[in-house]
Amino acid sequence: MKPLLKTLTETFAPSGHEDAVRKVILKEVRPLADEVSVDALGNLIVRKKPAKGAKNPKKIMLAAHMDEIGVIVSHIDKKGFVRFTNVGGTFGRYTLGARVRFLNGVSGVVGYDRLEQVDNILPINKMYIDVGASSKENCPVKVGDVAAFERSYIEMGDRLIAKSMDDRSGVVVLIETLRSIKSTPNDLYFVFTTQEEVGVRGAGAAAFGIDPDIGIAIDVTPTGDTPASLKMVMELGKGPCVKFRDVGMVSDPRVVDWMINTAEKARIPYQREVLLIGSTDAREIQISRAGVMAGALSIPCRYVHSASEMVDYNDLKNSVKLLAAMLSKSVSF
């Protein structure tokens, strides 16, 4: 799992530009799938059909988004300094001093107009990207070009750190879950979604097309285990989190009970999640068509939406175990 996660996180694929990471995922899932398709929004939809003789199989959609936050060029001044705006939740506190890479391969470093009070919250509209140009004419990027954070994957024991753990860690969990399920009585759709960071757009389109009975998002969740963090119970290394509520949705109690009962029966550690900030693809899946029973399984993650997002390897492994245990048996509700 770790080499694949390294490859996934070091691939550049900001929202709306997911082609490169989709190619990586497709190589992994094609031998494991009964059907593979890509829809108009670029979602990669991987189907594993129910075993022969399965009675009344549930159609279950599992979603992990493959896009990442980024920036987009909005203006280039006469000296070649690049102004930009965000693609998704790119925060000023993490952006100053960061290195970025554009999809054309150009690298740059983020600077700030004037640091009079360095401890204040820094707005990105006062920042620029220095790409080494000396004029507008020799600037190697153009208005509309997109970039993402440039930072390599590293390991610190069981703690894994990289850009785009949100949500390449969810992507690797879905791939490994698909790999571990040899047979299922359910009709499973593993969906690697696009444009989650800019409004859960891919998931909505995919859910409309699939029309699932049950939808589950696999995404990261911020933790409450760092100094002066928000008072939330989620911690690294304590197991995947069963979501009860976030800003965008309330999980279906039947899906919550299914996750918890499976975890307890299989003795898989888990945490209960009430998230105070943010949401996931499950928000859009839940309100697709006439409505879908929806929930989310979350991977605890520190420093979300920075270039150094941190997850725990044991949480990834236990997420795979829990999903495999859930999906390998018939759903009774």
Would you state the structure tokens that stand for residue 186, as one six-digit string?
A: 């359910």
Q: Is the confidence at residue 277, as pLDDT, over 80?
A: yes
pLDDT tier for residue 242 given thresholds of 50, 70 and 90: very high
Distance CA 237, CA 218 (A): 17
Contact 305, 89 (CB under 8 A): yes
Q: How far is CA 100 from the centre of its chain?
A: 19
Superfamily, domain 70-149? Peptidase M42, domain 2 (2.40.30.40)
Distance, C-alpha 66 to centroid of its chain: 6
Determine the pLDDT at residue 92.
Answer: 85
Give pTM, 2 decimals.
0.94
Average pLDDT, integer, range 309-319: 98
Check residue 121 and report its DSSP letter: P
Q: State residue 118's pLDDT score.
A: 63
- The CATH 2.40.30.40 portion of the chain extends over 70-149
Is 116 labeled as catalytic in the residue annotation?
A: no
Tallying the residues shown for the chain, one arrives at 333
**Residue 10 backbone phi and psi in degrees, to 5:** -90, 0
Question: Bridge-partner residues for 271, per DSSP?
Answer: 241
The answer for residues whose C-beta is within 8 angstroms of residue 261's C-beta and 6 or more apart is none
- The answer to whether residue 53 scores a pLDDT higher than 70 is yes
Amino acid at site 172: V
Tell me how far apart the alpha carbons of residues 9 and 3 are, in angstroms, rounded to a whole number.
Answer: 10
| 34 within 8 A of 50, measured Cβ to Cβ | no
Write down the architecture of domain 2-68+163-327 according to CATH: 3-Layer(aba) Sandwich (3.40)
Which tens digits make up the pLDDT trace of 59-115? Answer: 999 999 999 999 999 999 999 999 999 999 998 888 988 999 999 999 999 999 877
For CATH 3.40.630.10, list the domain ranges present in the chain. Answer: 2-68+163-327
Token pair for 274? 């009430």
Element (H, E) at 155: strand 154-156
Q: Quote the longest CA-to-CA distance of the chain.
A: 70
**CA triplet 73, 12, 282: central angle to 5 degrees?**
95
Q: Active site residue: 196, 273, 284, 309, which one?
A: 196
5-28 burial code (b ≥16 CB/10 A, e <16): bbbbbbbbbbbbbbeebbebbeeb
